[in-house]
Amino acid sequence: MVGGGPGAFIGEVHRKAARLDGEYELVCGSFSSDPKKSAQTGDELGLDEGRVYATWEEMLSKEKALPADKRMQVLSIVTPNHLHFAPSKAALEAGFHVICDKPLAFDLKEGRELEAVVKKSGKVFALTHNYTGYPMIKQARHLVAGGSLGKVMKVLVEYPQGWLLKEIEKDGQKQASWRTDPKKAGASCCMGDIGTHCENLAGYVTGLELESISADLSSFRSGRKLDDDGSVLIRYKGGAKGVLHASQISFGEENGLNIRVYCEKGRIAWKQELPTLLLVQKEGEPPMTMTPGNDYLCEAAKRAGRIPPGHPEAFLEAFANIYVNAAKTIRKIDAGQKPDEYDLDFPTVLDGVKGLAFIDAVVKNGFDDATKWTKV
Amino acid sequence: MVGGGPGAFIGEVHRKAARLDGEYELVCGSFSSDPKKSAQTGDELGLDEGRVYATWEEMLSKEKALPADKRMQVLSIVTPNHLHFAPSKAALEAGFHVICDKPLAFDLKEGRELEAVVKKSGKVFALTHNYTGYPMIKQARHLVAGGSLGKVMKVLVEYPQGWLLKEIEKDGQKQASWRTDPKKAGASCCMGDIGTHCENLAGYVTGLELESISADLSSFRSGRKLDDDGSVLIRYKGGAKGVLHASQISFGEENGLNIRVYCEKGRIAWKQELPTLLLVQKEGEPPMTMTPGNDYLCEAAKRAGRIPPGHPEAFLEAFANIYVNAAKTIRKIDAGQKPDEYDLDFPTVLDGVKGLAFIDAVVKNGFDDATKWTKV
Amino acid sequence: MVGGGPGAFIGEVHRKAARLDGEYELVCGSFSSDPKKSAQTGDELGLDEGRVYATWEEMLSKEKALPADKRMQVLSIVTPNHLHFAPSKAALEAGFHVICDKPLAFDLKEGRELEAVVKKSGKVFALTHNYTGYPMIKQARHLVAGGSLGKVMKVLVEYPQGWLLKEIEKDGQKQASWRTDPKKAGASCCMGDIGTHCENLAGYVTGLELESISADLSSFRSGRKLDDDGSVLIRYKGGAKGVLHASQISFGEENGLNIRVYCEKGRIAWKQELPTLLLVQKEGEPPMTMTPGNDYLCEAAKRAGRIPPGHPEAFLEAFANIYVNAAKTIRKIDAGQKPDEYDLDFPTVLDGVKGLAFIDAVVKNGFDDATKWTKV
Amino acid sequence: MVGGGPGAFIGEVHRKAARLDGEYELVCGSFSSDPKKSAQTGDELGLDEGRVYATWEEMLSKEKALPADKRMQVLSIVTPNHLHFAPSKAALEAGFHVICDKPLAFDLKEGRELEAVVKKSGKVFALTHNYTGYPMIKQARHLVAGGSLGKVMKVLVEYPQGWLLKEIEKDGQKQASWRTDPKKAGASCCMGDIGTHCENLAGYVTGLELESISADLSSFRSGRKLDDDGSVLIRYKGGAKGVLHASQISFGEENGLNIRVYCEKGRIAWKQELPTLLLVQKEGEPPMTMTPGNDYLCEAAKRAGRIPPGHPEAFLEAFANIYVNAAKTIRKIDAGQKPDEYDLDFPTVLDGVKGLAFIDAVVKNGFDDATKWTKV
């Protein structure tokens, strides 16, 4: 693991997700740019001292030097955005599989380069767009793909949060500091951090490709160099329309990712904060509420659950589903076998490149103050 | 009453709303452009045959000729959009008060003329933007206006419906036929019919004025000359941002008007289909659910309810609240008294002009296929 | 109308319900045992002074003396429980139809006598167990009766309120005073006032008959002579089981009547405070949410709605449905025609007798402190 | 671990819960009464072959013989009810800590004996009444205990399930087979399996002690020797009343445990299937919805969460909270330190004895067909 030292949020999420199903064992790490902090985290996690490294470069070279049955098999990258590309590239080229937090890289250029590196390496690259790990999202995707709901006409996808309403980056809050810093986060704060989850989720569920967008980004806090709120009108290839909005300044919202898809002959709706409920409506019928663990679900949704109906699984389990599927794929690849469609059901470098293209377009379009507006 | 004959929807809604609280008595009408149908409706309603008229022009002239204590006091106009202006103008000029369905008129030009007519007449003109009649909407307005939630930052207002997903206007469905006909509906179907309810509701709750908009309107059905779906990015005067979308082709949606307002120190959220629930959240507190009839509500919300907490009131009661307040105002005006702020709490010709300006801007902007879009 | 003077709650509810659909006209009344108050209410309602009476006895004799086309056709009785029997009996015997608030009478003995009076009179007697007027309750009844859900196994019906948590009867609150007074309310406060709504609603939806009950009634306030809370285990004829509880001391509850029915092959669930939502689940399917106004509903549910899907109707409209159906029945009976099953869909004297039998059994059983309890 | 072999449900739940936070390592097991199946499970879990045992007796004796730093520290018991007592007693007497699934033992006699064994052993005994592990339940307990809601007056606790509606025990379904078998489950199926969760949850949240109960148990399926449904009227010490019902034959219900507590000055309500939402209402205020991860929560609720607000945690995390707190306590006990109140926040043998006393009383009372019933 690279990153995930003291004060980190997503690093421990990755560790719990990896642990839950017993498919991974954490064997080494470079948890912080500060070697003392890295050592402290390694100690707390009960790691062998000799495998807690001062830098990720050191980790890659020393681990590579270990015998094959001893060395690290997969590298988890849980650092801020500007530190995704370099360790990903180096690890892949050194022959390790990679599981990387999103967004894929600092910008679209890096992303495209990494796409080529992954292809060349033959290694597994999993991107933790974790919300696609929820069982009911897999069921939603299945329903849309199956065609019984008809062609998609309209997509509404939202991700409101309120945690950056106050300028907590000024108080040194670690999560806020790097996300609002263009040198670490890239060209966008809100759209890069959570807008891409919207884009990815809508793409996963509907299978639609973006054609063009028209956006309005805002920095509600004067000191901020990056957006903390944004709304995007979407035209999809094939004629569907969409509205996507994400916000980090929406008072009281916790982690309100949600999606509604309207088709010719049906609809689905889902909210991340109540992830076990999938509203589905089909022609001539009242809306239904599907829940995990039931016989009527598709195979992918069934596999994404662990316990019987009514015993809710949630964020960590969905996150773990990315890890589990990556593990199954890695194991088969390493054994020279062919992973099946269920093993391969996790986000890849291609999803990452799409996300960076989305950020790129939205940032270009979203601060336009003139040509697209009509006075009322 | 003008309009509201066989096959009409909103005419009977107006009649029930007027009847509920015993403040109105229906005394005459011209219910259809077809005199036979008008007579039939008059008969069903138990009206005196002599006061069921073939045309609204006849009604106005004959009613005016009656003694003051016998003649109609207020004219309800429940016709399609193209028949709002002429009877409104004529009735006001003949000395009658008017209650008119929305939108105010066929286009902005007519609307502005009517504004002048109302001002000159000294008569009461009430516009049935009925959703502002709900008690919890009055409470929402009170909370925002009171300032304890802080400045408004972001407004999300939606009105999804699905009833025009199929081209039922081709089967002669009366409601669909005139709304999709540019000669009767005006420049817009979806935005004119329900988008304006969004605009009006957001304005009522937040007190904000539109500065500029950027929109995407669609006609999902090839034969349709007017929009059946639209999304609008909004910049409000003072810096708040908004997203407004309305749709008549959203599968399964019934009448899903809803609003969320995010402020500096709080938020509110409300859905028309469950109108007794108002989510309110204030700084440092969990979200609360306010309901009608309770002591903690503001005076306007209390007056808008009839029965104790837990005995739900809904659409017709909210509609009736427009009628009740108009009645109180009319009675005081006619008695030479001054209505108070609660009496005057109903939409007026000014709200109607704002709505038409909104439609005008959105239609101009919303079919732009070029300058405001960025390819992804 | 008898009752419904100043400070009354249910009287004005009856008046609004009667007014809504234009099927009734209020022509006379004896609104209070205090003739001045009666006159005041009559004046507020715009009644002819000569038809506002000092007593109901006077009203009945004077109205009977009027010509048939002038006199009152139906008597609404909206007084406390001890004043249901006498005016009902007298009105029926004088040839008037009667619409009476529940419970039917002061006790079971009175109820049985009234049953005989109704039968002999040939007149219509409607009892306002108003919750059966909701469209979705009619749909629930239809689904259970249709048999597709299979045999009913378990019924849960609840009616929590909180308004008597404080002893407001001591402050002279009119509604609380008579309901907690054994001379006016009868043998029970909570079970008589709202427990009977549970019993009636469960019977209407399931068609089941009570076999035996085991209950625990409480007076949480020491000064109270009647129950303010009670829970009842039910054994229905045919083997189904039930749990019924009602409370007037449940903090924060407004008017939380709700019912869940579990059958062999399906279930339904409904809550009065969100009356437009009916949960229905059938074998092999996820739960559905049915809403009013839709094509998939039964005829009785459709007739019980006035406006399209998504335009919610609520308490007053459900109450009005009792009035509407009674009106249709009365009109046909008076015209020598036969009412159909939809006209006759309102609670009758038989439902009233069942309710009184329920109260009788529950009060007898519910204060038992010994034989049925096991120490833990 | 004892139990948790092929076909088991709760064994894998225990393993995931133990794994999630990295506080436990599974080192040995006797997973099935069939040594082959035990070996198979051990193999799947990657255990050292030499530490997969044919019987729990063998495991205890061999593990005890290992050096202190190698041997098992805690025994997890995840077998059917009739196999809780013997391994618990033996393990405690051999010096191991024990984490045991509920109910505590086969009957009250065994339970009381085990209580003495635990006391004598000085070892930690944790009982996985897992629903008390939810953060919002800890908050509910805190609110009631804090006194600001006032004295508890009424408790409603329900646990409807539908999985035994069909007699799946006849098809050999493992979970159903032992639960409906008096030799393995004890005196009760429904009340023992899930009624005790109700009893435990209500006790944990309210702190109330049962005084006496009056119950109605049913076996809806003629072949069943034990109850599959039951309803219980409760009188608590101090005057509060309660209604508890649990069912395994309620069509469509998945795992619907829920609780409502009404106090003098407030109330709480919670549903296990949407475990992140806690309804709380205080005097003079609208109901609030509390959610995990927020500053306004009590210390115990905060400690029971892992990730920020809006990132839902659910069943497995709540289960893991029992394991985590037990781990912290065990570690301190073994180090001669004193665990604090947060460490000790897990169910113990005392809770287990209370549960068995509840089952005992309910089974005695619940099949009474005569003395406590009144005919209607």
Print burial letters for D14-34: b (CB count within 10 Å at least 16), e (below 16): bbbbbbbbbbbebbbbbbbee
Express the helix, strand and coil content of chain A in percent, nearest 5 each.
40, 20, 40
Contact C84, C105 (CB under 8 A): yes
Query: In B, residues 239-278, which contact C (CB 8 Å cutoff)?
Result: 253-256, 272-276
Pick among B47, B317, B319 to test the C interface (most C CBs inside 10 A): B317
Sort out which chain D residues have CB atoms less than 8 A from C267's CB and list them. Answer: 250-253
pLDDT at D369 over 80: no
Tell me what pLDDT residue D375 has: 85
Contact C313, C305 (CB under 8 A): yes
Mean pLDDT of A298-319: 97
- Kindly tell me if the per-residue pLDDT of A370 is higher than 80: no
> Could you read off the pLDDT of D154-211 as tens digits, one per residue?
999 999 999 999 999 999 999 999 999 999 999 999 999 999 999 999 999 999 999 9
| Per-residue pLDDT tens over the stretch B38-85 | 999 999 999 999 999 999 999 999 999 999 999 999 999 999 999 999
Query: Does B270 score more than 80 pLDDT?
Result: yes
A-B CB pairs within 8 A amount to: 144
> Which of B49, A291, A165, D370 minimizes the C-alpha distance to C288?
A291
- Count of C-beta atoms within a 10 Å radius of residue B207: 13
How high is the mean pLDDT of chain A?
Answer: 96
Three-state secondary structure call for residue B224: coil
Q: Which residues contact B147 (CB under 8 A, 6 or more apart)?
A: none
Amino acid identity at C157: V
pLDDT at C372: 84
B73 lies within 8 A of chain A by CB: no
Name every chain C residue with its beta carbon within 8 A of the beta carbon of D211: 375-376
User: What pLDDT, in 10s, does the model give residues B308-339?
Assistant: 999 999 999 999 999 999 999 999 999 999 99
- The residue type found at B303 is R
| Chains touching chain A, criterion 3+ CB pairs below 8 Å | B, C, D
DSSP structural state of residue A310:
T
Overall average pLDDT of the B256-269 stretch: 98
Give the chain C residue whose CA is nearest to the CA of D365: C374
**Contact flag C288-A288 (C-beta cutoff 8 Å):** yes
- What is the pLDDT, as a whole number, of residue D222? 85
Query: What pLDDT, on the 0 to 100 scale, is given for residue B167?
Result: 95
**pLDDT given for residue B130 in this prediction:** 97
Cα–Cα dist C188/C200, whole Å: 16
Q: Across chain B, what does the average pLDDT equal?
A: 96
For residue A285, give the amino acid letter.
Answer: E
- Predicted local distance difference test score (pLDDT) of residue B375: 84
pLDDT of residue D213: 95
What integer pLDDT is reported at residue B373 of this predicted model? Answer: 85
C217 in reach of chain D (CB within 8 A): no
Angle between helices D196-206 and D349-366 (to 10 degrees): 120
Banded pLDDT at C161 (limits 50, 70, 90)? very high
Which pLDDT belongs to residue B323? Answer: 98
- For residue range A271-308, what is the model confidence (pLDDT) as tens digits? 999 999 999 999 999 999 999 999 999 999 999 999 99
- What pLDDT, on the 0 to 100 scale, is given for residue B121? 97
Separation between Cα atoms, residue D350 and residue D353, nearest integer Å: 5
- Spatial distance between the Cα atoms of D367 and D369, rounded to a whole number of angstroms: 6
> Could you tell me what percent of chain C has a pLDDT over 90?
95
pLDDT value at residue B94: 97
Q: Taking a contact as any Cβ pair under 8 Å apart, which residues of chain B between 282 and 301 contact chain D?
A: 284-291, 294-296
**Does the predicted TM-score (pTM) go above 0.90?**
yes
Structure tokens at D180: 């409906």
Kindly list the partner chains of chain D, i.e. chains with 3 or more CB atom pairs below 8 Å: A, B, C
Residue C176: its H or E element: helix C174-179
Say if residue B103 is preceded by a cis peptide, omega within 30 of 0. Answer: yes
Would you call C159 helix, strand, or coil by DSSP?
Answer: strand
Read off the pLDDT of each residue in C2-24 and give the average, rounded to a whole number: 93
Contact C16 B163 (CB under 8 A): no
Residue of C288, C290, C291, C295 to mutate for A, most A C-beta atoms under 10 A: C288
Q: Give the model's pLDDT for residue B98.
A: 98
Q: Using one digit for the tens of pLDDT, what is the confidence trace for C338-375?
A: 999 999 999 999 999 999 999 999 999 998 777 788 88
Region C208-215 average pLDDT: 96
- Answer whether D159's CB lies under 8 Å from D194's CB: yes
3-state secondary structure labels for all residues of chain D:
CECCCCCCCHHHHHHHHHHHCCCCCCCCEECCCCHHHHHHHHHHCCCCHHHECCCHHHHHHHHHHCCCCCCCCEEEECCCHHHCHHHHHHHHHCCCEEEECCCCCCCHHHHHHHHHHHHHHCCCEEECCHHHHCHHHHHHHHHHHHCCCCCEEEEEEEEECCCCCCCHHHHCCHHHHHHCCHHHHCCCCHHHHHHHHHHHHHHHHHCCCEEEEEEEEECCCCCCCCCCEEEEEEEECCCCEEEEEEECCCCCCCCCCEEEEEECCEEEEEECCCCCCEEEEECCCCCEEECCCCCCCCHHHHHCCCCCCCCCCCHHHHHHHHHHHHHHHHHHHHCCCCCCCCCCCCCCHHHHHHHHHHHHHHHHHHCCCCCCCEEC
Classify residue A225 as exposed, middle or buried by CB count within 10 Å of its CB (0-12, 13-18, 19+): exposed
Return the closest-CA partner of residue B315 out of B48, B133, B166.
Answer: B133
Strand order in the sheet with B74-77: B74-77, B97-100, B125-127
Q: What is the pLDDT of residue A309?
A: 97
Segment C320-346 shows an average pLDDT of 97
pLDDT over 90 for what percent of chain B? 95
A320 pLDDT more than 90 = yes
Exposed / middle / buried, residue A46 (Cβ in 10 Å: 0-12, 13-18, 19+): exposed
**Which residues of D are less than 8 Å from A14 in CB distance?**
none
Question: How distant is the alpha carbon of residue A330 from its chain centre?
Answer: 19
CB pair distance less than 8 Å for C287 and A287? no
The confidence score (pLDDT) of residue D129 equals: 96
pLDDT in tens, D32-76: 999 999 999 999 999 999 999 999 999 999 999 999 999 999 999
Contact B134, B275 (CB under 8 A): yes
Report the first-to-last Cα separation within chain A, whole angstroms: 53
In the predicted structure, residue D110 carries a pLDDT above the cut 80: yes
Q: What is the pLDDT of residue A211?
A: 95
Q: Do C21 and B16 touch (CB under 8 A)?
A: yes
Question: CA C363, C365, C371: angle at the middle one, nearest 5?
Answer: 150
Mean pLDDT of chain C: 96
From chain C, pick out residues whose CB is under 8 angstroms from the CB of A287. Answer: 288-289
pLDDT band at B231; cut points 50, 70, 90:
very high
**Residue labelled with tokens 């402290």:** A40
Could you report the per-residue pLDDT of D67-98, keeping only the tens digit for each? 999 999 999 999 999 999 999 999 999 999 99
pLDDT, average across residues B268-273: 98
Q: Which two three-digit tokens encode residue D21?
A: 């936070």
By DSSP bridging, strand B210-218 and strand B74-77 are unpaired
Structure-token pair, residue A297: 């679900």
CA A118 vs. chain centroid, Å, equals 18
Nearest to B169 by CA among B185, B182, B183, B180: B180
Contacting residues for B94 by C-beta, under 8 A, at least 6 apart: B60, B61, B64
**Overall average pLDDT of the D291-318 stretch:** 97
- Percentage, residues of chain A above pLDDT 90: 95
Any CB–CB contact under 8 A between C281 and chain D? yes
